[in-house]
Amino acid sequence: AEELQEWLEDVFMEVDYEKALDAADLEEDPRFEQDEADAGSALDEFTYGEMDLAFFLAILRHLDPPPTASFLDIGSGRGQLCLAAARVRPWSACRGVELMPEVLHIGRGALEIADPSLLKTDAAALELLLGDMYAEETQALYTASDVVFVYATCLSSEDGKTLKRLSDALAASLRPGSRVVIVNKELDTSLPFTLTDTLIGPNPDSVNADARAFVYTFEGQ
């Protein structure tokens, strides 16, 4: 994990941040295309957090998906976990979806710089997309994904732990057998999600509590 972390830091150090932010200015920002009822809850979710990289790699080893599997990181930020996933494993597709254009374009800058010969996933299959995790147009990404990852520490929920709105969005679109990993929040198991594992690891966002990764299988409607 240390070697991978150093590589990621080197890649992001080479990003042209001014160019990335200029590109972000040209985007239509999904944060401000929502109706008022949705905008308030969405604005609560703009806090940026990063997953412990060693724990993330341990989760991927635990899942051990086949090379034909596709990966999606919801709320991918600058795409660090997508790059890490592509560096350590082959995927048929490795995607991230992010609401904030500023960090998305920093990630796209990193993809342009990363040496494709060091990736185990074809660079053409690595993609960072601008979008709202709850939006109808994002549903096709869920349908196309075998492994969905969410670092959910900063996502809001009514009871403080269950992501009911995201659960609804995923249940409407996932294929049976798809797996979902939620870190520090949970899915609504009144929907056809079966909790198969709970993994515990370091939590960069708390000095007092471990991070918990809840692994679900979607059983289908």
The pTM is what?
Answer: 0.90
Q: Confirm if 166 and 134 have CB atoms less than 8 A apart.
A: yes
One pLDDT digit (tens) per residue for the chain, 221 residues: 899 999 999 999 999 999 999 998 877 666 545 554 444 444 444 455 679 999 999 999 999 999 999 999 999 999 999 999 999 999 999 999 999 999 999 999 999 999 999 999 999 999 999 999 999 999 999 999 999 999 998 888 888 899 999 999 999 999 999 999 999 999 999 999 999 999 999 998 887 889 999 999 999 87
Q: Confirm if 114 and 9 have CB atoms less than 8 A apart.
A: no
Amino acid letter for position 169: A
Q: Please give the Cα distance from 60 to 1 (Å, whole number).
A: 12
Q: Please give the Cα distance from 215 to 194 (Å, whole number).
A: 8
Q: Which helix (H) or strand (E) holds 182?
A: strand 179-183
* 3-class state of residue 116 by DSSP: helix
DSSP 63: H
| Residue 142: both structure tokens together | 């869920």
